[in-house]
Chains A and B, each alone.
Chain A
């Protein structure tokens, strides 16, 4: 039941002892302020890490080749390993049950021109699956398809910024771009969350690139995503197996680190997760430490308040106050001060994060802030903290004997 009179009593007590209430509130406000800022910064760091990896599927594996560093099976060190289409087919067939999407990549730098606009871009020749490995989003038109591969069509898919650079105020779809002297038709425009660099790329069917730039079946890199149902250990096992099989396929020594490199995104993600996890734990420990200091502070002040109000409580008891009503007064006063002061601290903290957010990006802190759920959690914590801080003093107050309190001094 909402007891208006009880609240009136409490507000009067807080209001008539403003300095005391302000002082106790300050401790809590400051604790929550620190807590909020720390938490916001931790969130900001986490955001930065996550952003770095957001554009690539987390279940990706990259396979790259280089020169051998160790002589093996009668072959000299320094031999160059070159992947070809058959290697792509091999991985695709051999690990059919584990591979989700797979694509080869061939890199080229090209000078592109359309009418009077010119610029140079990176060209990546790929399989259709690349869209899903790289998480490209088609904005307009279509992506590379199987038909393009088979017919070696001279089409390209360009990034949003390429379109912006070359096509001023017109759609690129259906237009022809000149790349190093050959005309290609633009069939699609894509966007990517990985930032500007990822949107300044041009994609081409891999078969077309192999035909036109060297007439061979070389590939620079194989990218794949594995079955998302694999857990971390299985994923790691898969990439290890992949490494071993490829090394023996190319007669590379098993301890050669350069010739064939398999990079498993899961490992990187795992490391980042561990790091941000550790960071979060540290910040939580510091934050809760601050919070506990605040609670102890207000508890101290409440004990002092009870001491100061001993006589008043004695009078109230002599006049018929039950222990329960004494507890309510002290407890609710504590909760109220804690909750209000805590909220002020929270608001200031959020404000500080909001204001300083943009200037913190240099320090790898992106979008520092606290979530709604944290605010709700903090509110509950504050009420609990107030109750905790007020409980012992309130118990103490309820046990005050009026006869002792009213003794003439």
Chain B
């Protein structure tokens, strides 16, 4: 599903440069649920951005679903992002003047679907996250957990091959976090491949595999026994 070989990335800081990723090798299979852990500055967010095609590596190889991701034009990157990837962010990143339904329908708009189809599909996904009754509410009228569920529905709307989550529970309290994690686990059960950046041990333990990053290299990569979030709810 996803292969990364000898990935390097550095950022220029003044005259010198900061070497953030120092040769990452990572391969993720279909249906996996991987947590990328590390302290801040370990390069985990950079790795996620490169996987999400929001950033480009200096060297190394990145293959997504058999497709070499390299030297993409902005337009191509946009199309690939839309087709292959779903994003879930710590701060939800909903568009504040669009209601829940319109937010979920946005990636479908960029796929070129007709309005009616978009709304039906968006409604279907909102139903999946249990927010049918909140479809016409603006983000500011929703709670944090509800916002994140709208964001998840939006990430799912375009039916992506890979779900990327950047600290998805970072802005939520424990109970809500568990609810969200339970839902993400459910998605994984249904076969979605999920890649998640987190620095919380208990959240990472709810995945099936943990990749530890420190100073730009993988220091540990192990499969674990998944803790079901449902136990806490």
Contact = CB atoms under 8 A, between A and B. Distances in A.
Contacts of A17: 97
A11 B206 CA distance: 43
A408 interface: yes
B227 to A, nearest CB: 26
Interface of B: 49, 52, 54-55, 74-75, 78-79, 81-83, 87, 89-91, 93-98, 102, 106-107, 109-111, 115, 154, 158
Given A9-B109, A12-B102, 10 more contacts: A17-B97, A314-B93, A318-B87, A319-B107, A320-B78, A320-B79, A322-B75, A322-B78, A398-B74, A401-B55
Contacts of A316: 95, 106, 110
A408 B90 CA distance: 8
A115 interface: no
A306 to B, nearest CB: 15
B77 to A, nearest CB: 9
Interface of A: 4-5, 8-9, 12-13, 16-17, 311-312, 314-325, 398, 401-403, 406, 408
Given A318-B87, A319-B81, A325 B110 contact: yes
A319 B110 contact: yes
B116 to A, nearest CB: 11
Nearest to A321: B110
Nearest to B155: A319
A320 B158 contact: yes
Main secondary structure of the interface of A (DSSP, over half): helix
Given A318-B52, A318-B54, A323 B78 contact: yes
Contacts of B93: 311, 314-315, 318, 406
B81 A318 contact: yes
Contacts of B96: 312
A312 B52 CA distance: 18
Contact of B97 (A5, A16, A402): A16
A315 B96 CA distance: 11
B115 A5 contact: yes
B165 to A, nearest CB: 13
Contacts of A312: 95-96
22 contacts: A8-B115, A12-B102, A13-B97, A311-B93, A312-B95, A312-B96, A314-B93, A316-B95, A316-B106, A316-B110, A318-B52, A319-B82, A319-B87, A319-B154, A320-B79, A322-B110, A323-B74, A323-B75, A325-B110, A402-B54, A403-B55, A408-B91
A181 to B, nearest CB: 92
